[in-house]
Structure formats: structure tokens, C-alpha cells
Amino acid sequence: MRGPHNILRLIRTGATFERTGAMHSVLEAFEAPKPLRILARTLGWPFKWLGYKGDPAMPPETRALNALGPAYIKFGQVLSTRPDVVGKDLANQLRVLQDKLPPFSRAQALAEVEKELGRPASEIFSDFSDPVAAASIAQVHRATLAETGEDVAVKVLRPGIERAFNRDVDAFYFAARIVDLFAPSARRLKPMDVIEHFDGVVQGELDLRLESAAASEFAANTAKDEGFQLPEIRWAYSARRVMTMGWADGIPLGDNDALDAAGHDRRLLANRVLSLFLRHALRDGYFHADMHQGNLKVAANGDIIAYDFGIMGHIDEYTRRVYAEILYGFIKRDYKRVAEVHFEAGYVPANRDVDEFARALRAVGEPIFGMDASQISMGRLLNYLFEVTERFGMETRTELILLQRTMVVVEGVARSLDPHINIWEAARPVVEDYIKKSIGPRAVASDLLETAKVMARFGPRLPALVEQALIAQAAQNGAQNRSTGNWLAPAALGAAGGAAFFAAVALLI
């Protein structure tokens, strides 16, 4: 379906921003160059009539994103956590996209529950409230289980949400293809890979059985984390479009006035939310990848409660070590090592100059140290970092997209709690602890032990593997002998035998 009909969808996107009055403020928030602003307004005005009208009761920006659909709403949710990038006023306006969108009716939700669970709702719940939160994909109701009297949260997917998302993503694929064809300089960003990654994440979010499984795994990983809670999944009352979990009482993390009134230390909470994210990402390689204020509460005892597990991130051990070394290098202001790690991991082409790259990274990192968040223009910092990566030919790493995106969101949440937080100082203890455990003598010993375990599993197959290697090598040498003479055969066979011998020794070790 990724045909030219998507041109209309993309034109309608710009037209909707123009019609709702959001175009000017969005371009202003991103500090768009004057020529781009003029071009956008010039092209947007003639097609204004094609734009969606949206809800006039909403501010222009939220009105435009809400009218365009769930994929655009997801984008707005990320921006709502970054007042340092889009400005405080726009960030506050966009925050309603987290959990205060127009809900669908209670009757529709009950119909979905009965359809998915195969029982009358009255048999399952003795009480079922009106929506208490509504986001881009689903909404939540507070209910009471008839069998136990337990208060629970029931999450129900929006009717028709799958089709709406697929339509938006289809247009995004088309836009990515246009970028690939007509903007060669942007190909290093791998727009098609980025959209494919986004598509995969969204499809997983549209099956609440997968979300339930993610919540269960996350709970097992974090059971001993101090200051952190997760509601328990109720599997008997969950299905593809319905998920039931324990009710979490607490103050929304985005309500600073309520947090202050309850006596919570917002500076402590800011450090905690950042530390928890880094611990989960580095220690477990499995983290909550949608940690905006709408998905976090603060319990009466100060614990952070997380929910909404539709988007979870996973990174392998090698990538975690690379990421940790990069963070650690920035913390230590060792830009040469940061640059070397980029080259060692293949993030920067080998033909570039590592010293020059280190100097460019210094220009990114140095303005941060000795300054609190209120003095740093993160918008300009991100813009310069983008220029650096472009100049050195860095390609988008799709395996790091969720990690990078979540780091941006979590940093925004921490800043909203404590505008003066020093991100690097808050991150230092977690990163240093991971470095000690994962990049040192103990880590080497652990790696060797894991390697030995894997190799040991091949022990029973060793004779067959050696025989196959010898036969394959003999066949290859036979073909070479016909053209180069038979004198090479004994040497080749000896080499194959030597390789087999060393493989056997390695396995035995």
C-alpha cells in the first residue's frame, strides 16, 4: 500500500499544522531556519483546506497531533518530556497527549472485555469505572474483581487502532523511501530501517498479551530494586486486546505541586528515575522504553511505580558495554577513549581520523560539565551533535534507537522534577558500577567461563564436526590440486588436521 496515495497523507500533515495554527509555533520551537519557515508557510497555505480541523478546545499543537492520529501522538509524547528542546509552554501543552486524550465510551470498553475474555463483564468485575486515563493506543479503567474484591486496572485497546496505526506507518514508509531517493546525504540515517524498527515496536504494542509477558519479565528482573514497584499482571483476566493488573495508588510523576504537597523530595526522585533506567538498561539489557510522566507514579513511601509496558527495549551484552564505555568516557572527559570506542564498535568508518573525531566530541561534551541543566540549551547541543555525526559519516544504529529515545525521555522527566539536575553526575555511580563488573578481570573470567560452557555443549558432536571439516577441506584441496599440482595436498591436509587438533584442545579446556 506504499504508493503515491501517501503523498496526500503527507500533504495533509502539513496542511493540518497550518489549519490548526500549529505550524508557526512548531517551527519556532525547533528554531527552524528562516528559509525553511518561509517555504513551509508558502507550501502549507494553499493546501490548508485539506488539513484536519481537530478539536478547537485543544491548544493548536495538541489539536494538530491528535487530529493526525496515534503515530503522530506518539511523537508528541516524546516532545512533551523535553521543555529544554521545545520550550516549557509547548511541552506543557503536549503533556495531555500522555494520558488525557479523548476517551471512547465505557460501553465500548465493556464490549471489548466480554469479546476478549469470553464471559459477561458482570461476572468478572463487580465494578467497572469510566475511563481514568486515555492515551494514543488504549485507555484504562479502574475495576474490582468479583471473585476477590481486589482493585485492578483494566487496559483496553482503542477500537480500530490497528488500522489507524497501519495507515500512518504506511505513509511514514513512503516518506522514508522519498528521503532515500532524493536526499542521498540523509541515507546514513537509514530512514527505512528506522521506520521498520518503529513499525515493529508499534505492532508489539498492539498485542496486550505481549505487554503482559513484558511486564512479567521486567518484574522478575527488578524485584530487588530499592525504590521501584511494578503492578502485578492478572493473567486470568488478560487477552490480546485487554490487560488486567493490580491497581497502583500514587501521585502522577508529572504533578509537581502534588508531589511537593505530599512532602516528596523531587531532587531525589529525579536522580532515582534516571538511575533506575540506566541500571535496567546496563545491568539487565531490558528496560521500560516509554518512561514519560504519564506512565510513572510516586507511591506514598516515595517508590517510583511504572506501568504501561507496551514498549520495552532490549540490548545485548556487547552493545551494553559499548554504550557504558561511551558514557563513562564522557563522564571522565576522556574524549579520545570515547572516539576509540566508536571506531572499535564500527559506529564511525575506519577511514576517518580518530583524533579529529575526539576533538569534535570534546566540543559536544565540555559545555555540559560544571553547568546545571538550566544553563544548557539541549536543543543546540543536539543540533551540534547531529552535525558532528553527519560530518564523520556515522550511520543510524537501529539497535540503539529505543535506548537513545528513552534516554532523551528519561532525561526530560528528570529535568521536569529538578531543573538543575546534572545528568552526568547522576549517571556516574550506575555507570561506574557497571564498568567495574563488566569491563575488568572479573568480566574476562566470566566471559571465558560462558564461552567454555557454550563450547562444551558441542563436545559430543566434536568427532563429526572434525570429520566434516576434513572432508570439506579435502574436497576444496582436490579442486585446487587439479590446477596447481598435487604437491600442495599434504600441506593443506596437515593444516586442516592442525586446525581440528586445536579445536579439540579448545573444547577440552
Helix (H) or strand (E) holding 157, with range, is strand 151-157
Distance CA 98, CA 115 (A): 27
Which of 188-198 are b and which e, b meaning 16 or more Cβ less than 10 Å from the residue's Cβ? ebbbbbebbbb
- Distance between CA atoms of residues 184 and 120, nearest Å: 57
CA–CA distance, 115 with 119 (Å, rounded to integer)? 8
Where is 305: in which H helix or E strand? Answer: strand 304-306
Cell representation of residue 337:
577513549
What whole-number distance in Å separates Cα of residue 157 and Cα of residue 386? 36
Residue 299 has phi, psi (to 5 degrees) of -75, 170
- For 48, half-sphere exposure in the C-beta direction (CA atoms, 13 angstrom radius) is 11
DSSP code, position 233: B
The C-alpha angle with vertex 21 and arms to 20 and 22, in degrees rounded to 5, equals 95
Distance of alpha carbon 499 from the chain centroid: 43
Which residues, including other chains, have CB under 8 Å from residue 197's CB and lie 6 or more apart?
398, 401, 402
List, as one string, the DSSP characters of 49-98. Answer: GGS----TTS-HHHHHHHHH-HHHHHHHHHHTT-HHHH-HHHHHHHTHHH
Catalytic residue from among 84, 99, 290, 418: 290
Q: In terms of Cα–Cα distance, which of 484, 505, 504 is closest to 492?
A: 484
Per-residue burial over 393-412, b = 16 or more CB atoms within 10 Å of its CB, e = otherwise: ebebbeebbbbebbbbbbbb
Strands 304-306 and 228-229, how do they pair? parallel
> In whole angstroms, what is the distance from residue 153 CA to residue 245 CA?
5
Is 355 designated active site? no
Angle (CA) 365-366-368 rounded to 5° is 75
What is the distance between the alpha carbons of residues 408 and 385, in angstroms, rounded to a whole number? 14
Which amino acid appears at position 110 of this protein? L
Amino acid at site 265? D
Residue 315: phi and psi, rounded to 5, are -135, 140
Output the CA torsion 51→54→58→64 (10° steps): -40
Contact predicate 51/16, CB 8 Å: yes
Cell of 487: 604437491
Measured CA to CA, the distance from residue 60 to residue 63 in angstroms comes to: 5
- As a whole number of angstroms, the distance between CA 50 and CA 44 comes to 10
Active centre residues (catalytic): 290
